[in-house]
Amino acid sequence: MKRNFRLAVAFTLNLFVFNPLPALAQAVSGEQMTMVADNMHEQLTRIGVIKAAIVAGRLADVREPAIWLADHKTVVGLPADFEPHIAQMRSFARHVIEAKDLQTAGIAVSQMAKTCGSCHLVNGVELEFGFDQTPRQDMEDVVTHMQRHQWAADRLWEGLIGPSDSAWNRGVDMLIEAPLDSEDVTLTEEHFEKIAGIGRRIHALGGIGTETTTPDSRSELYGEVLGLCASCHQLLGRGPAN
């Protein structure tokens, strides 16, 4: 039987519930299990801060949470299978710290998400997701369109950290839609052409993502999505948190 242990994490309006399988529950004590849960919660929170900063186009804001991830102490007595993933997480956190641009930071945080998923899979940790309500799909204004982008990106994120095919497929399916027309966006012609190109690529990645099945390829695709979101928000001078 599973140990009676569940941790709910409210994170960018998504619900994560950690359900360790018997092998993990038997490997550590109840007190250690609570510490493991707290540590996982804190890591996800910090990684989420990095992700949000990248999407919003704020490179300066990624470094503080990345430094914590690179330097924080781990729980004493963790099962040995955790150790390589912790080392990888710290390495990718250092890549974020050293990143000179948002695209590089985006690649590193996508690799963090893949590492989370790999650790969960190896150690039998199940994540259940409370999916946000799907944004409206019968409206084509800019705000609703961007809400769909953000919702899709959140599902891709869950697909990596779960790992979850269901979450991933929800995300890529949402991205397969028509890009915005020039009539929908009030921008200079030069800016619109750049942003339109970004939009076309993001929607193309939705189609590519339907055939993307490995953690490495999904991480690469998600990293590109993050970089494209950041580039667009930098051109606009604003992002979802502005």
Q: From the CB of residue 130, how many other CB atoms can be counted at a distance below 10 Å?
A: 11
Most confident by average pLDDT, 13-22, 84-93, 134-143, 211-220: 211-220
Domain that holds residue 230: 7-236
- How high is the pLDDT of residue 195? 80
Residue 2 resides in a domain: no
CB contact set of 161 (below 8 Å; sequence gap of 6+)? 44, 113, 116, 117, 120, 127
Report pLDDT digits (tens) over 32-66: 667 777 777 888 889 999 999 999 889 999 999 99
Residue 134 resides in a domain: yes
Residue 199 resides in a domain: yes
Residue 91 resides in a domain: yes
Total domains in the fold of the chain? 1
Residue 89 resides in a domain: yes
As a whole number, mean pLDDT of residues 84-107 equals 93
